[in-house]
């Protein structure tokens, strides 16, 4: 006779195998991916901190592959600001990422220094440092198969630092960054030498510009290229039409087969709201309801300093 414990074990193992496909597709690319990355680049490039000239708060929430249990969910909260008169920017980013049985919380501080190249162009260099707290809990997948569950739960503290550069003006930007330089081991067993399970180093190249396309219409293309060991080079192309400097309508294409659309509203000179929806052409399209992403951004003006509006980067 099959016991409840055996049924729970079989159910858990089946669920675990279903999750393996998800984890396999994102394990090499460990850093969270956002369709609207261009509205919060400080999470991947510390050199961006302070470049807007205001104290900025940005929050993002991404629900990936809706309808699939254990699919990635990512939330970020970022704050960055210049030190007026010192050519210095500072920031703080909180990132909460969940996929299957694994949760990761990152807390990172950013520092940047901005050099004036010409009257309109600046070059910034940045440094970020912090820690990722990674938790893996398999107890909900396969039930209580032993009293202590010692092998089913782990928690790791992974300190890291990153670097970046950012060339920008009010009409274009170019960025190059490595958000996490250290390749920490993801195994809590120091004797486990057979599986090379570690944090992979990600390289990001970003760029974009804006041009006037007509009366009260601007065109803003942008791109990001992500390079990481163990995964194909990921290229994302996106473009927005900006109407009356208030409404942004755009589309994106990613070379993994993903396509999507996005919209952004400048409610005031300080408050912006955005939404994107994308779908994949992979086999996951038969099981998911697409990926949703929302963000909100707010600028706080410094005393006696006017907020630059419109601002495109």
CATH code assigned at 174: 2.40.160.40
Residue 230 has pLDDT above 60, yes or no: yes
The mean of the pLDDT values for the chain is 84
Q: Which residues pair with 263 in a beta bridge?
A: 249, 275
Distance CA 241, CA 268 (A): 18
- Quick check: 254 and 236 in contact, CB under 8 A? yes
Tokens representing residue 48 in the block: 């961006």
Distance CA 223, CA 153 (A): 39
**Model confidence pLDDT, tens digit, residues 265-294:** 999 989 999 999 999 887 777 778 889 999
**Residue 63 domain-assigned (yes or no):** yes
Closest to 43 measured CA to CA, from 170, 197, 162: 162
Percentage of the chain beyond pLDDT 90 is 58
Confidence at residue 16, expressed as pLDDT on a 0 to 100 scale: 43
**Residue 309 domain-assigned (yes or no):** no
Residue 87 has pLDDT above 90, yes or no: yes
Task: Give the range of the structural domain holding residue 216, as residue numbers without chain letter.
Answer: 4-298
Confidence at residue 5, expressed as pLDDT on a 0 to 100 scale: 53
**Residue 134 domain-assigned (yes or no):** yes
**Residue 303 domain-assigned (yes or no):** no
**Residue 132 domain-assigned (yes or no):** yes
Closest to 126 measured CA to CA, from 80, 99, 163: 163
Residue 184 has pLDDT above 80, yes or no: yes
Q: Which residues pair with 61 in a beta bridge?
A: 75, 294
**Residue 307 domain-assigned (yes or no):** no
Around 179, how many Cα atoms within 13 Å sit in the side-chain half-sphere?
Answer: 28
**Model confidence pLDDT, tens digit, residues 99-158:** 888 899 999 999 999 999 999 999 999 999 999 999 988 776 655 455 554 557 788 999
Residue 24 has pLDDT above 90, yes or no: no
The DSSP-derived string for 101-139 is TEEEEEEEEEEEEEEE-SSS-EEEEEEEEEEEEEEEE-H
Distance CA 214, CA 247 (A): 15
Q: How confident is the model at residue 305 (pLDDT cuts 50, 70, 90)?
A: low
Distance CA 262, CA 168 (A): 24
Q: Which helix (H) or strand (E) holds 208?
A: strand 202-209
Residue 220 has pLDDT above 80, yes or no: yes
pTM: 0.83
- Structural domains in the chain (count): 1
Residue 196 has pLDDT above 70, yes or no: no
Distance CA 210, CA 312 (A): 7
- Quick check: 32 and 102 in contact, CB under 8 A? no
Confidence at residue 11, expressed as pLDDT on a 0 to 100 scale: 44
Which residues have a Cβ under 8 Å from the Cβ of 199 and sit 6 or more positions away? 30, 132, 158, 160, 180, 182, 183, 184, 186
Q: How far is CA 284 from CA 20, 144, 258, 259, 294, in A?
A: 13, 30, 11, 14, 22
Closest to 65 measured CA to CA, from 23, 36, 101, 123: 23
**Residue 306 domain-assigned (yes or no):** no
**Residue 265 domain-assigned (yes or no):** yes
């Amino acid at each position: 006779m099959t016991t409840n414990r055996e049924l729970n074990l079989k159910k858990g193992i089946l669920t675990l195998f279903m999750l393996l496909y998800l984890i396999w597709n994102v394990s090499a690319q460990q850093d969270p991916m956002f369709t609207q990355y261009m509205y919060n680049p400080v999470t991947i490039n510390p050199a961006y901190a302070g470049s807007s000239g205001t104290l900025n708060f940005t929050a993002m929430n991404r629900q990936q592959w809706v309808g699939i249990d254990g699919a990635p969910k990512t939330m970020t909260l970022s704050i960055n600001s210049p030190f007026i008169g010192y050519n210095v920017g500072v920031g703080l980013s909180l990132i909460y990422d969940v996929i299957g049985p694994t949760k990761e919380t990152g807390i990172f501080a950013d520092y940047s220094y901005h050099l004036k190249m010409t009257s309109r162009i600046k070059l910034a260099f940045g440094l970020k440092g912090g820690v990722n707290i990674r938790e893996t809990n398999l107890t909900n997948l396969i039930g209580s198969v032993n009293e202590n569950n010692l092998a089913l739960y782990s928690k790791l503290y992974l300190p890291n630092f990153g670097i970046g550069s950012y060339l920008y003006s009010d009409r274009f930007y170019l960025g190059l960054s490595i958000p996490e330089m250290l390749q920490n081991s993801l195994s809590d067993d120091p004797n486990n030498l057979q599986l090379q399970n570690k944090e992979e180093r990600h390289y990001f190249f970003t760029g974009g510009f804006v041009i006037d396309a007509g009366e009260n219409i601007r065109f803003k293309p942008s791109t990001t290229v992500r390079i990481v060991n163990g995964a194909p080079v990921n290229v994302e192309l996106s473009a927005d039409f900006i109407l009356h400097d208030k409404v942004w309508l755009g589309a994106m294409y990613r070379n993994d087969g993903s396509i999507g659309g996005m919209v952004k509203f400048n409610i005031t000179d300080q408050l912006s709201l955005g939404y994107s929806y994308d779908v994949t052409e992979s086999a996951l399209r038969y099981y998911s309801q697409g990926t949703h992403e929302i963000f909100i951004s707010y600028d706080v003006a410094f005393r006696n300093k006017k907020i630059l509006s419109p601002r495109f980067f």
